[in-house]
Amino acid sequence: MIAANKPPRDSFKQRHHVAAFTVLENFAQGLIHIAREYGGAVSEEQILKAMNALRDKEELFDASWGVLEADLETIKAREHAVVRHDPFGRLLVSRFDHLLEGNEAGDIEHGAMPRAILQPFFKVIRMMVGMDMLQEIDREIHEIIDAHADDDDELRDPAEYWDHLAKEPAVKSRINLVFARMALHFSNYEHRKKWLIQLVNDNMTVGDEPWEFTETHCIRLLDALFRDVRKTLAVPEHSAELVAKMGSEDVTALRDVIKCIDADMAKLSA
């Protein structure tokens, strides 16, 4: 059998690597069998015949499709999760919750964003940060929750509980790292800002009344998302910790991103 040479840890990427390699391995074994019958050589015609033979063996693809289907369901669950009952999602949204309709921002007519924006928001996070990192941090946060759980947790108001959890240093550190890595994707600030506006508008669910994610919405969202990144960069010892985790070049790039956001916010306030 051919060694799969798979990645060392169980991850989104590894599961697909192993599933796809299983199909390739079966194909390779078929070619080896043909080569043995013909003195160690396999012709182009025989390779094509082997490929066509695989088309009729759907069971070879069942495992690969099963893995893909399961992960698609996981992604769909993330997009449609009830954020209040999803600790990681709640902590992410807590950064800009005040900009959503019904909260401090008021109604949509006065600049608030509809809650329908949450689905494209999670899509943006997946694209920027990657599923592997999101799953890793999601697991760590659940471990922190379990370690700090007490008898009063079930009676605590959900919104109050997640605000309480967000202040836990271990959770705060991990979430800040997520947003710092997200912020790096805005190094080409103007280009990425336009990309974000287009992506959100393309993925908004069509409701009774059309709504557009504007540049003003985008600037305020970025300001809220990366507010703690700004605070971290402003404190030398915290900034040094970020350099240790990300490297000095990335932290310098982060400072430039924050300057661009600050400049945009200043224009909005003018």
* pLDDT tens digit sequence for 237-265: 989 989 999 999 999 999 999 999 999 99
Residue 1 scores a pLDDT above 50: no
Residues 222 and 102 in one domain: yes
What is the arithmetic mean of pLDDT over 140-169?
65
pLDDT for the residue numbered 268: 92
Rounded to the nearest 10°, the torsion over CA 162, 125, 177, 160 is -10
Which residues, 6 or more positions from 264, have their beta carbon under 8 angstroms from its beta carbon? Answer: 219, 222, 223
Q: In percent, how much of the chain has pLDDT > 70? A: 69
Residues 144 and 28 in one domain: no
pLDDT for the residue numbered 80: 42
pLDDT for the residue numbered 167: 74
Residues 111 and 50 in one domain: no
pLDDT for the residue numbered 82: 38
Confidence of residue 50 (pLDDT cuts 50, 70, 90): confident
Average pLDDT, the chain: 76
What is the arithmetic mean of pLDDT over 225-240?
92
What is the arithmetic mean of pLDDT over 221-236?
93
* Residue (of 95, 111, 124) closest to 214 by Cα position: 111
In a domain, 75, yes or no: no
In a domain, 7, yes or no: no
8 token code pair? 């060392």
Residues 143 and 238 in one domain: yes
Strand, coil or helix: what is 100? strand
pLDDT for the residue numbered 226: 94
Residues 25 and 98 in one domain: no
In a domain, 193, yes or no: yes
More confident residue, 11 or 19: 19
Residue 222 scores a pLDDT above 60: yes
Residues 64 and 89 in one domain: no
In a domain, 165, yes or no: yes
More confident residue, 138 or 182: 182
pLDDT digits (tens, 9 = 90+) for 13-28: 566 666 666 667 777 7
Confidence of residue 9 (pLDDT cuts 50, 70, 90): very low
**Residue 137 half-sphere exposure toward CB, CA atoms < 13 A:** 25
pLDDT for the residue numbered 8: 40
In a domain, 2, yes or no: no
Angle between the N-to-C axes of helices 248-269 and 189-203, in degrees from 0 to 180, rounded to the nearest 10:
70
| Rg of the chain (C-alpha set) | 24
In a domain, 5, yes or no: no
Lowest mean pLDDT among 98-102, 160-164, 180-184, 237-241: 160-164
Of 45, 68, 91, which residue is a domain's last?
68
122 token code pair? 């999670």
pLDDT for the residue numbered 15: 60
Residues 33 and 116 in one domain: no
Residues 58 and 92 in one domain: no
**Residue 162 half-sphere exposure toward CB, CA atoms < 13 A:** 18
Number of domains the chain contains = 2
Residues 91 and 225 in one domain: yes
* Residue (of 82, 28, 34, 23) closest to 58 by Cα position: 23
Strand, coil or helix: what is 113? strand
Helices (H), the chain: 12-37, 44-55, 59-80, 87-93, 118-129, 131-148, 158-166, 169-184, 189-203, 215-225, 227-234, 236-246, 248-269
**pTM above the 0.85 mark?**
no
Residue 89 scores a pLDDT above 80: no
Residues 54 and 108 in one domain: no
Residues 216 and 100 in one domain: yes
85 token code pair? 């009952």
In a domain, 73, yes or no: no
Residues 59 and 96 in one domain: no
Domain coverage including residue 43: 12-68
Give the number of other CB atoms < 10 A from CB of residue 181.
Answer: 18
**Can you tell me which residue has the tokens 């949204």?**
93
pLDDT digits (tens, 9 = 90+) for 53-85: 766 666 666 666 666 666 555 555 444 443 345
* Residue (of 20, 214, 262, 142) closest to 254 by Cα position: 262
